[in-house]
Amino acid sequence: MRPIAHTREWKHPEGYRYLAPWANAVFLRILVRKFTQGLPRNEYRLKAQLDDAARSVVANIEEGYKRPTTKEYLAFLGYSQASLEEVKGDIRRACQDGFLKTKTGSSLAGIGIDLREVRGILRENKGILREDKGKDLREDKGKDLREDKGEKKEENLGESPDVSYNPLTFSNIPYNPLTSLRGSDLTLEIFIELINKTDFLMRQLVKSLEKKMNEEMPMSSRDKWLKIKMRQGQEKERKFDEELKKKIEKSGKNPWKK
């Protein structure tokens, strides 16, 4: 019986914010919300399914990151990948049903979104981005975003907070290109580009974690025996191929040529 994998450790309690797949997933959820807000009321099922699936992509990365073992982390990343595929399917069906337009050549760059830039902002801020209601962080690096011309803004504790939905506030990413983006600006091509890029990054993360898990979990005696036998078989085949090649070169004839 294999021992339990070593307990995972992290340097930052929200270290998943350093992950490129998480950043992409957050953006995907924001774009999905912008799109679903423009759907007809009678399409409430499509809206609910898309919103839930997009939320699940992000949530499973976050929950999996805090799991104590790499094996559990991988399981939650699998759930996230499945939800990502669900989003892709629903987006395609929304396009087929005429709710989402298609435009050849449209892209994330075309609507001003640079995913590498966002990931850089996440890393520079140690995974924590402050809210500024759409103000571009590139203009205020290193400054206190709550100060205006040297004077701090006063908090009105007597007023109730604004709880109306704002995807930028909920995602905690004050990225300027998103503030003016409308659901009608989105296309099938933009969604597929973001989904495919996120899927690639997820697969890369899974691959690295699988390698880590194999290092954490020593092989059983049977697995070691099988590995030795496999190596012996490969070495035997290699020697046979070398001997055969020498015989062919010595004879000067190709035994497979008629």
Indicate the average pLDDT of the chain: 76
The pLDDT of residue 181 is 82
Which residues are CB-contacts of 36 (< 8 A; sequence separation ≥ 6)? 46, 47, 50, 51, 183
Residue 76 has pLDDT above 60, yes or no: yes
Q: What is the pLDDT of residues 142-191, one digit of tens each?
A: 443 333 334 333 333 333 333 333 333 334 455 667 777 888 889 999 99
Q: By percentage, how much of the chain surpasses pLDDT 70?
A: 69
- Enumerate the domain spans of the chain: 15-144+167-216, 219-258
58-78 mean pLDDT: 92
The pLDDT of residue 138 is 41
The H or E element containing residue 147 is strand 147-148
Residue 103 has pLDDT above 70, yes or no: yes
The pLDDT of residue 128 is 46
Q: What is the pLDDT of residues 201-221, one digit of tens each?
A: 999 999 998 887 777 666 677
In sequence order, the β-bridge partners of residue 234 are none
Q: What is the pLDDT of residues 33-60, one digit of tens each?
A: 999 999 999 999 999 999 999 999 999 9
DSSP reduced 3-state for 151: strand
Q: What is the CATH class of 15-144+167-216?
A: mainly alpha
152: which DSSP letter? E
78-88 mean pLDDT: 97
